[in-house]
Amino acid sequence: MFASIMQHRTVRRCWSSHLLRLLSACGALGIWLSIGSVCPLAPSASMSAAHTLSGWHPLGTRSSRITRPQAANQNLLYHDGPVMSHTMTAYAIFWEPAGSQVSAGYHQLIERYFRDVGSSALYHNNAQYGESSGQVPSGASFGGSWIDHRPYPSSTLSDTQIQDEIRRALQIQGWTASLASMFFVFTARGENICYNSYCSFSSFCAYHGYFDKEIIYAVIPYTGSDPEACGVPSSPNHDSDAESSINVTSHEQMEGATDPLLNAWYDSQGSEIGDKCSWEFGSPGPDGGNVTWNGHRYLVQEEWSNQSGSCVLSGP
C-alpha cells in the first residue's frame, strides 16, 4: 500500500476527533491520508502534506448525511489537479468467490448503467469542472467486466487487498490504467471492507481513490448487505440490491471524473461533487426512478452544479 511520494496538496478533510488523533499519529510517521469530509476543520485550518499512501475519499452512510457539514451554497473550488478529461473508460470487477451471493439482476443492471451513464445529462454536468488547460470531462464508456471467483484472502478485506485485485485484473484482462480509466471493484453479499479503522456500512458505503500514481479506482461493497445504511428508497427495476449499488457507483464515478487524484475539484470543507448532494434524489416518479437514460429507468443521487449553485440531475 505504500507508494512513492506523489504530490503536495492542502488537505482540508477530517471525520471526527478520533480521526484527528489518527492523523496526528500518522503525521509523526510521515504518513498522510486524504479523507472525505464528515466533520469540519476551522475554515482557516489546513495541513500541507506529502502523500506516501494512496488517497481515498469515502461516501458516508445515509445516517451520516445529517452530520456532515455543508456550505449549502458554496461552490466547488479548483485546486489545480487533473480531471478525467475527454472520455472516461469504466471497468467493472465483480469479485465473487464460489458460493457467494448477489441478486439475480446484479451484473446485468450494473453493466447497463455503465453503458447508459456516459451520454446522460447527469454525466454532462461534469463538463463545467475543467482543468486550467481547458480540458473537461466529456463522457464515459464501458470498457468491460470481469468476474473473479478467487476466494477472499480474509473475512474482512483491506484496501491493500482491493488494490492487489485490481492489479490482478489488469494483468489477466489486459486492461490499461491511465487518467482516462476508472476501475470499480464490487464485492459479494456480506463481505466487509475496511480502510484502516473505517469499515463498510458502519462508516462508509463506498469510496474512490488512486494508487500507483494513476490507477483510479472505486470500491463498492454489496450495499444490499445493509440497506438501512446504504440502500435506496425505491427500486424502479425491482432489484434494490443492484440499484443501491448503482446509486453509490454513480456518486463515485462523478467524483472520479472531477477529482481523480483528490486534488482537483472540492469545496473549502473537502466535499466533492457528490458529497454535497449525497442521498438526495429530488422527486422520483411513480415507478421509483428519477432519470431515464436510453429508455432505461434509474434512481441515482443528484450532483452539485456550480452554475446553478444547487444539486441537479442534469448539467448545464
Report pLDDT digits (tens) over 69-83: 455 679 999 999 999
- For residue 64, is pLDDT > 80? no
> DSSP class of residue 63?
G
Contact between 90 and 246 under an 8 Å Cβ cutoff? The reply is no
Residue 123's φ and ψ, nearest 5 degrees, are: -65, -35
Would you state the pLDDT for residue 241?
A: 98
Choice between 265 and 22, residue whose per-residue pLDDT is larger = 265
Lowest mean pLDDT among 48-57, 134-143, 157-166: 48-57
pTM of the model: 0.83
Interatomic CA distance for residues 196 and 275, integer angstroms:
21
pLDDT, tens only, 230-261: 999 999 999 999 999 999 999 999 999 999 99
Q: What is the pLDDT of residue 290?
A: 98
Per-residue pLDDT, 293: 98
User: Does the pLDDT at position 277 exceed 70?
Assistant: yes
pLDDT at 72: 61
pLDDT tens-digit series, residues 198-207: 999 999 999 9
As a whole number, the mean pLDDT across the chain is 83
Q: Lowest-pLDDT range, 43-57, 81-95, 101-115?
A: 43-57
| Mean pLDDT of the 191-200 span | 94
Residue 86: which pLDDT band, with cuts at 50, 70 and 90? confident
Measuring CA to CA, which residue among 167, 138, 130, 175 is closest to residue 150? 167
The pLDDT value recorded for residue 73 is 72
**Across the chain, where does the E strand assignment appear?**
8-11, 47-50, 56-60, 77-78, 86-95, 137-148, 156-158, 181-187, 192-195, 198-199, 204-211, 215-220, 265-266, 291-293, 296-298, 303-305, 310-312
- Mapped onto helix, strand or coil, the DSSP state of residue 297 is strand
How confident is residue 23, by pLDDT bands cut at 50, 70 and 90? very low
Provide the pLDDT for residue 70: 52
* Whether the predicted pLDDT of 46 surpasses 80: no
**Quick one: three-class SS letters along 119-186?**
CCHHHHHHHHCCCCCCCCEEEEEEEEEEEECCCCCCCEEEHHHHHHHHHHHHHHHCCCCCCCEEEEEE
Cell of 34: 486524504
